[in-house]
Structure 1
Amino acid sequence: MKRLVLSLASALLLAGTGFEPAAAQDAVKGKAIFEGNCAACHRVQEQVVGPALKDLHKRHEEKWILEFVKNSSKMISSGDKKAVEVFEKFGKIPMTSFEGSLSDGDIKDVIAFLKEESEKPAEAAAPVVAPTETKVDGAAPAAPVNIEWKAMPPTTQVLVVLVGFLLLLVLLFMTIAFFQALPLLANLYDRPALQNTFMARFIKLLRGDTSTITGKHNGALMEDHSYDGIHELDNDLPPWWKYSFYATIVFSVVYLLNYHVMGGQLQEQEYEAEMQAAAVLSASHGGGNANEKTDFKPLTDVAQLEAGKATYIQNCAACHGQNAEGVVGPNLTDEYWLHGGDVNDIYKVVKFGVTSKGMVAWQGKLSKEQMLEVSSYILSLQGTNPANAKEPQGEKAK
């Protein structure tokens, strides 16, 4: 009797919660289906080959999503307005048909996964840690106050504007008073004891006397320095020139100490350090030059080809077919190639992609070894003639 009561209670509890464990399991299953079939061309938050799928369940009805995933080409040819709009917006690249490979339940599981991902709250930015304050008399430190202009009462805003205007008036008045007092200051600093001070020169400069910068011309002729009617005057160098020269002397001393005494990096050392840093950064981000030359040889080891097959099934089959027969992408089992049929050509396409034709760049997502494995696996499929193979595209390999 006790077991019966517990069973009834459990059943009522599950009924009251709407069977949430089953819904959660659907999302988990949908994630696996999404990663195995859709992740090559779609992301939840960002656009790749196809559109970002966040809030897909809000943008389209479930029935429409089911039909589009199963056979988008059929919907486009029938003139479905939404299907045609998506097709034209994303480079007229048809979506892989999953009719026969995914059931309605599988697609609904994927929708459940996308709904769960879409409704996740955005990750909060890391909180700014305020400096710790010492408690006074056991009281908690006061929280920092953020003052926003819009949040201020109108009277406070008017008062702040008024105070700022008054400060501006005071500054303007002091400036006018200073220039009005310049003649008096000039007379004060024209005394022999003060006329060579910095303040005296500054006041003369404000009054338009630039001799502090340009120097004075005494007009004295230098003896025996007259040629063809041209006379050389015995004037001092302008102060601005002398001050610039003194500055270069100080700079040269600092430069010498920094780069030749204290171990500072010279130009060649800086260049080498920057090139090393760029190489590390490039490697960590899977970078490289699309025109780089490689001399890889096709892998023949069975274990490596199996690894390449696993990588292919997970990442490439959605567009090229489970047997490389070609779906959205071209057939990879014939002798015709759009970008060359050598293992290095295939590796380059896998690494850098062909954005104009919807081919994703896999650098940064796959390692160098994985890209070489999948390139070698593709070459191993030559001549397998799978069922429903797509017509040849490109040029015949030499």
Structure 2
Amino acid sequence: MSWNTVKIKKGSLALAAGLLLLGTTAVQAQDAVEGKKIFDANCSACHSIETDVVGPALKDVHKRRDEAWIKKFVKNSTEMIQSGDPTAKEVFEKYGKVQMASFGGQLSDSDIDNVIAYVKEESEKPAAAAATPAADSGTEAEAAAAPKEVSFMELPPLVHITIALSGIIVLLIIATLIMLIRLFIPMLGDSIYDEDFRSSFAGRVLFLMRGDATVVTGKAKDEIHSNHDFDGIQEYDNDLPPWWKYMFYVSIVFAIGYMLHFHVFNSGLLQEQEYELEMQQAALFAASADNDPNAVTNFEVLTDAAALESGKSTFLTNCAACHGQEAQGTVGPNLTDEYWLHGGNVNDIFKTVKFGVPAKGMVPWQGKLSKDQILEVSSYILSLQGTNPANAKEPQGEKQ
């Protein structure tokens, strides 16, 4: 065999290997495309790639779980939980004990392989940039325009000097007053103990500084107020504490001002009036807010065939994963009987679909479906009343 022949064979092998790799990549890409369709139709109601919804986020799930386990769990999660599989039980407990719908009768092994291929592809995508450069520059401009907090030590030296001089002046004034008091008190002699001086403001301040607390507590005269007693209990004529009397005087002044403000000049709102005003403001705010679950709605059930067909399409795409293809109930409740957990008229169903019931695993659809789509699917659900599909779930809630 000549050297040229060996070269040709090696080149042929390399070419074949390259074509094989390219073909494999193309097949994987096609699998991911099919997997996305299956995911959107069956899984997106309860799962997301990046974040937890009803079930866990699926990013890198192929690295955390064996593919054979994933297939088995997708086909019949209930059976795995009941069999005591520790991983299945852990997922069931962690996500509010909401069982995943069983897809054994709907998805084949190849369908699940395609979904795994789609999850792999999405998991390997780099995270999106948090902000564009233009947004960054705008943020920097806003930060520059915002007032900056300055610590005391960063203030100009002139401010420090001014504050220090002010403190020195205050201290000098206090020291001067103390010196004057110490100078003039000895000159007064015993006259400071005269009742007239002690009862004056200056006398009270002086004796308070010398430790006499009667200006605050009042005098204890220890004199019997009257000759009557009750079982040996006698009443003394002592002063009320001055602090109590001052608070009483302040409360009288406050009461007069309160009466004039609220009942004479009517310049203030009473509690009932304030409550009514705030309720009116809240009602106006709620009326303008699209996301208020307590806002009153007055939708009518749609009955035309086109709207119901559109509602059916929306239901099969988004709701069937949890409620069944015929709304017979799987993870979610049966929607074809007369029993409802959250109200059975079109407005109740509209709100349940729009805002969801996260505590029970029902996701809010207001960010994914338009108002018209939610009304259409709500009307379609009501059109299924009494259809009695096979394998219907037991009634839940109250009869409507």
Q: TM-score, normalised by structure 1?
A: 0.60
More helix by share: 2
Aligned counterpart for 1:82 among listed residues 75, 83, 87 = 87
Equivalent residues of 1:204, 1:210 under 8 A apart: no
Say whether residues 1:383 and 2:386 are aligned partners.
Answer: yes
- Equivalent residue number for residue 235 of structure 1: none
Equivalent residues of 1:38, 1:318 under 8 A apart: yes
Q: CA deviation at 1:8?
A: 10
Provide the aligned C-alpha RMSD in A.
3.7
After superposition, residues 211-290 of structure 1 pair within 5 angstroms as 282-283=289-290, 287-288=291-292, 290=293
After superposition, residues 1-398 of structure 1 pair within 5 angstroms as 13-17=18-22, 19-126=24-131, 128=133, 203=165, 205-208=167-170, 282-283=289-290, 287-288=291-292, 290-397=293-400
2:29 & 2:37 partners in 1: Cα distance?
13
- Secondary structure in 2 aligned to 1:43? coil
- CA offsets, 1:247-306, max 9 Å, x none? xxxxxxxxxxxxxxxxxxxxxxxxxxx9999977x44xxx12x22222211111111111
Which structure 2 segments of 5+ residues have no match?
Answer: 1-11, 138-152, 174-198, 202-281
Amino acid aligned to 1:344: N
- Equivalent residue number for residue 246 of structure 2: none
1:343 & 1:278 partners in 2: Cα distance?
21
Equivalent residues of 2:339, 2:399 under 8 A apart: yes
1:293 & 1:365 partners in 2: Cα distance?
22
Percent of matched pairs sharing the same residue: 60
1:347 & 1:124 partners in 2: Cα distance?
36
Q: CA deviation at 1:128?
A: 4.5
- Report the CA distance shift for 1:20/1:293 in structure 2 as closer, same or farther (over 3 A): same
Q: CA deviation at 1:369?
A: 1.2
Amino acid aligned to 1:380: S
Structure 1 runs, 4 residues or longer, greater than 6 Å off: 7-10, 274-280
2:164 & 2:65 partners in 1: Cα distance?
75
- Report the CA distance shift for 1:204/1:312 in structure 2 as closer, same or farther (over 3 A): closer
- Secondary structure in 2 aligned to 1:373? helix
1:12 & 1:122 partners in 2: Cα distance?
32
- Report the CA distance shift for 1:384/1:202 in structure 2 as closer, same or farther (over 3 A): closer
| Number of residue pairs the alignment of both structures matches | 270
- Report the CA distance shift for 1:76/1:202 in structure 2 as closer, same or farther (over 3 A): closer
Larger-gyration structure (1/2)? 2
Which structure 1 segments of 5+ residues have no match?
Answer: 1-6, 132-167, 180-198, 212-228, 232-273
1:317 & 1:90 partners in 2: Cα distance?
20
Q: CA deviation at 1:13?
A: 3.6
- Secondary structure in 1 aligned to 2:128? coil
1:16 & 1:363 partners in 2: Cα distance?
43
Amino acid aligned to 1:105: S
Larger deviation: 359-368 or 60-69?
Answer: 359-368
- CA offsets, 1:77-130, max 9 Å, x none? 111010011011111111000001000000010001001111111123346479
- CA offsets, 1:111-163, max 9 Å, x none? 010011111111233464799xxxxxxxxxxxxxxxxxxxxxxxxxxxxxxxx
Equivalent residues of 2:286, 2:295 under 8 A apart: no
- Secondary structure in 1 aligned to 2:170? coil
Larger deviation: 334-343 or 76-85?
Answer: 334-343
- Equivalent residue number for residue 159 of structure 1: none
Equivalent residues of 1:29, 1:109 under 8 A apart: yes
2:113 & 2:28 partners in 1: Cα distance?
11
1:291 & 1:275 partners in 2: Cα distance?
10
